[in-house]
């Protein structure tokens, strides 16, 4: 067994690199895992516990501490997964003999129904974004670029149900010819197809035409370059632009986010007759049970609707309908 007293940042990064390579994890996931591992090791250090000799009880104490800090079950489960995988690699690399987390079970997740915007709210957002672009002064190219970009992003998010991380990293090379379908690299490195509607294709064409006239963007490989022409626009910038747009129509900025637009896409598609399997493919869900949560949203709203307006007002829709 290898001898080492303290985990170095280089060691942590190397172990996480092995995990990401084996599991095909994204850079964002690696960053989250790094924070989890650092949190655990700092806690062990404060308790004078050697992280390479930490046992099952030590980890149970750690999770008891995290629970006392009101971490959500989903967050605790991810941390447990991070720790288990990290210590699995430590064992494989000869730093420890056994994985002390083998007997720890995942935390029961509370499945929250996804929050989405109404079709009316999204139509209002799109209308405001179009008005901003239409009314922008011709001698203000900076604002024109900003308004055109956020309108294009909003159209793409709502048309495709993309994750914002997938959108910001779209390569320009995929848009030499704009088609109805586009294959993108999604979560976990899994490829899937997304579909563009007519309006989103129109906005993409407008954006690419405007983009081609901006010198600092010409050598950039992304559809949506960063404001300084380097790399791609950040997720935070997209969120801020959407928040500004929502405030301009007196909508609470907390109501709007790229992920809520993704939820809205799924909910509205399902409400209009899309089947679960097709929706699963469009959203890039590995497990259809993740997609099925949107049917619970439907049932909840249906139940509320009938209980509100039915004259008898005593109908019980809690039992599963049989058709």
- Per run of 10 residues, the mean pLDDT along the chain (length 323 residues) is 70 90 83 93 93 92 91 88 93 90 78 77 93 88 93 96 94 90 87 92 96 94 94 94 90 82 90 86 86 69 50 47 43
Kindly give, in sequence order, each residue whose CB lies less than 8 Å from that of residue 73, ignoring residues fewer than 6 positions away.
Answer: 107, 108, 109, 110
Count of beta carbons in the 10 Å neighbourhood of residue 112: 9
Residue 192, beta-bridge partner list: 184
User: Is there a contact between 248 and 133 (Cβ–Cβ < 8 Å)?
Assistant: no
Count of beta carbons in the 10 Å neighbourhood of residue 266: 23
The DSSP annotation for 134-171 comes to HHS-TT-HHHHHHHHHHHHHHHHHHHH---HHHHHT-B
Count of beta carbons in the 10 Å neighbourhood of residue 173: 9
pLDDT reported for residue 115: 79
- Residues designated catalytic: 163, 187, 259, 262, 285, 294
Is it true that 9-92 and 119-286 share their CATH fold? Answer: no
Fold for the domain defined by 119-286: hpI Integrase; Chain A (1.10.443)
The residues spanned by each domain of the chain are 9-92, 119-286
Kindly give, in sequence order, each residue whose CB lies less than 8 Å from that of residue 277, ignoring residues fewer than 6 positions away.
Answer: 288
DSSP letter at 194 equals E
User: Is there a contact between 10 and 172 (Cβ–Cβ < 8 Å)?
Assistant: no
* Short-list 68, 114, 83, CA closest to 7: 83
Count of beta carbons in the 10 Å neighbourhood of residue 77: 16
Element counts in the chain: helices (H) and strands (E): 12, 2
pTM above 0.85? no
pLDDT reported for residue 82: 92
Q: How far is CA 189 from CA 22, 140, 186, in A?
A: 12, 40, 6
> Which token pair is 168?
């910001």
User: Is there a contact between 255 and 242 (Cβ–Cβ < 8 Å)?
Assistant: no
Fold for the domain defined by 9-92: DNA polymerase; domain 1 (1.10.150)
pLDDT reported for residue 299: 58
């Amino acid at each position: 067994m290898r001898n080492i007293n303290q985990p170095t940042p280089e060691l942590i990064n190397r172990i996480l690199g092995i995990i990401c390579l084996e599991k095909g994890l994204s850079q964002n996931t690696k960053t989250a895992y790094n924070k989890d591992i650092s949190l655990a090791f700092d806690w062990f250090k404060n308790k004078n516990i050697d992280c390479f000799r930490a046992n099952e009880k030590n980890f149970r104490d750690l999770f008891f501490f995290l629970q006392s800090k009101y971490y959500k079950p989903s967050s605790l489960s991810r941390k447990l997964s991070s720790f288990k995988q990290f210590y699995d690699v430590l064992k494989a690399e000869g730093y420890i003999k056994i994985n002390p987390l083998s007997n720890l079970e995942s935390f029961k997740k509370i499945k929250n129904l996804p929050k989405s915007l109404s079709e009316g709210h999204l139509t209002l957002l799109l209308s405001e974004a179009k008005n901003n672009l239409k009314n922008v002064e011709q001698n203000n190219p900076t604002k024109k670029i900003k308004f055109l970009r956020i309108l294009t992003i909003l159209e793409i998010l709502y048309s495709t149900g993309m994750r914002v991380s997938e959108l910001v990293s779209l390569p320009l090379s995929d848009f030499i010819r704009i088609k109805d379908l586009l294959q993108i690299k999604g979560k976990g490195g899994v490829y899937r197809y997304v579909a563009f509607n007519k309006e989103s294709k129109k906005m993409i064409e407008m954006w690419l035409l405007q983009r081609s006239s901006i010198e600092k963007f010409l050598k950039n490989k992304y559809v949506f370059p960063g404001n300084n022409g380097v790399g791609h626009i950040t997720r935070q910038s997209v969120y801020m632009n959407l928040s500004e747009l929502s405030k301009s129509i007196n909508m609470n900025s907390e109501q709007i986010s790229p992920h809520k637009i993704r939820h809205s896409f799924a909910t509205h598609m399902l409400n209009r007759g899309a089947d679960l399997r097709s929706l699963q493919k469009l959203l890039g869900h590995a497990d259809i049970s993740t997609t099925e949560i949107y049917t619970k949203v439907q049932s909840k709203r249906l139940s509320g609707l009938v209980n509100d307006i039915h004259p008898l007002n005593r109908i019980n829709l809690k039992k599963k309908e049989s058709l």
